[in-house]
Amino acid sequence: MRKSIGIIGGLGPLATVKFLEILNENIDKNLNKELEIVVINDPTTPDRTEYILDNTKPNPLDNILKMVEKLDKNNVDVIVMPCNTASYFYKEINNATQTHFINIVYETVKFIEKMNIKKIGLLATEGTIKSGVYKELLDKFNIECLVPKENDQKIINEIIYGCVKQNKKANMEEFYKVSNNLQNEGAQIIILGCTELSALKKIENIDSLIFIDAMDILAKSTLEFLKI
Amino acid sequence: MLLNKQITLGIISSDLNLTTKFIEKIINNTNAKRDQDHIKMDIIINNNLSNKTENELDEFVKRYETMNITHLCLYYPNQKMLNTFSNHFEIPIYCINNLKKEEETIKTITSLCNKKEEAI
């Protein structure tokens, strides 16, 4: 019996590739089931942060829902979306399909909740931070969410948009400076809450246990759901 | 001449590992300042593809027919796959069955992406 993963991709394209890599690393090599992975990869989807910060900008939801429709036509068993910022549209996406849709933010917070942590740092796009998708859930578990100060957030923005998305080398000294600042404020762990930062983790081999990778958690949750 | 935004590349393959690397090469060789400069792709990776009968492969053809792809990559296809898809689609089909073909295909596809937008 075929098991099928549907991926809303292109948000951004390199992050989607890194998500496939993580899936590949975690799939049982001796799997004796038919496994299909369908990726509808639409990087022309308008920028999610731009829309969240300014609702007069093009809305990415139309493109995302078209991808969901294509995945449903492919009869996938589960739909996943390796993009934290687009979780802003979780309700609309979930309502648009009968297929189980895994929420990257929810899975990450669920993971952290088991760790008995009181304070986390969040590295993410301004869109993710402003939308409060992480803070809202973390508040329910009484976990404090620290975010970078303005200048540090500019560094993160530059890493995401000026480096990873443009296939340019990121300034890792600056990256670690920002994460150290969050730790100095009391963050016990730091969420890589942007899939471009998850991509950076793979590219730069960031292996410190201080970082919790939301995209890694999403991949493992996906395989767990399908029991493969 | 298709505008970059109108290209949708279909990729069908049985190997997740190699296909992921192939896609990454396309992305890394595209001159992109932002996500929206990259091309759309509709990808199906099925680990049992080589065992499919012609009738079963027809199912994949039907799926791609609904996806409005403009170009198609068959990644290390067997003859059945090649025949099935070639018989159904009149779009450019790139059959990748060795490294040289892969490099040529990446060059061709990324040149489509990197071309300045021209009027149709």
**A114 and A201 assigned to the same domain:** yes
pLDDT tens, position by position, B38-62: 999 999 999 999 999 999 999 999 9
pLDDT at A30: 86
Question: Is B26 part of any domain?
Answer: yes
Mean pLDDT of chain A: 97
Say whether residue B3 is in contact with chain A using an 8 A CB cutoff.
no
A135: CATH = 3.40.50.1860
Range of the domain at A166: 105-214
- Chain B interface disruption, residue of A30, A33, A38, A160, most B CBs within 10 A: A38
Residues B52 and A41: their CA atoms lie apart, in Å, by 25
**A199 and A109 assigned to the same domain:** yes
Residue of A17, A45, A161 with shortest CB distance to B20: A17
Specify the pTM.
0.96
pLDDT at B3: 59
**A10 and A57 assigned to the same domain:** yes
pLDDT at B4: 59
CB contact under 8 A, B33 and A166: yes
pLDDT surpasses 50 at B118: no
Say whether residue B28 is in contact with chain A using an 8 A CB cutoff.
yes
Mean pLDDT of B87-100: 94
**A208 and A113 assigned to the same domain:** yes
Tally the domains of chain B.
Answer: 1
Tally the domains of chain A.
Answer: 2
Helix (H) / strand (E) element for A184: namely helix A172-184
Which is higher by pLDDT, B120 or A209? A209
Question: Is B120 part of any domain?
Answer: no
User: Encoding tokens for residue A220?
Assistant: 């493992």
**A59 and A19 assigned to the same domain:** yes
pLDDT tens, position by position, A147-193: 999 999 999 999 999 999 999 999 999 999 999 999 999 999 999 99
**A41 and A54 assigned to the same domain:** yes
B106: CATH = 3.40.50.1860
The three-state (H, E, C) secondary structure of B13-74, written as one string: ECCHHHHHHHHHHHHHCCCCCCHHHCCEEEEEEECCHHHCCHHHHHHHHHHHHCCCCCEEEE
Range of the domain at B64: 4-114
pLDDT tens, position by position, A111-151: 999 999 999 999 999 999 999 999 999 999 999 999 999 99
Per the residue annotation, which of A194, A200, A217, A219 is the catalytic one? A194
Which residues, 6 or more positions from B6, have their beta carbon under 8 angstroms from its beta carbon?
Answer: B70
**A131 and A178 assigned to the same domain:** yes
User: Encoding tokens for residue B109?
Assistant: 């596809």
pLDDT at B112: 84
**A133 and A175 assigned to the same domain:** yes
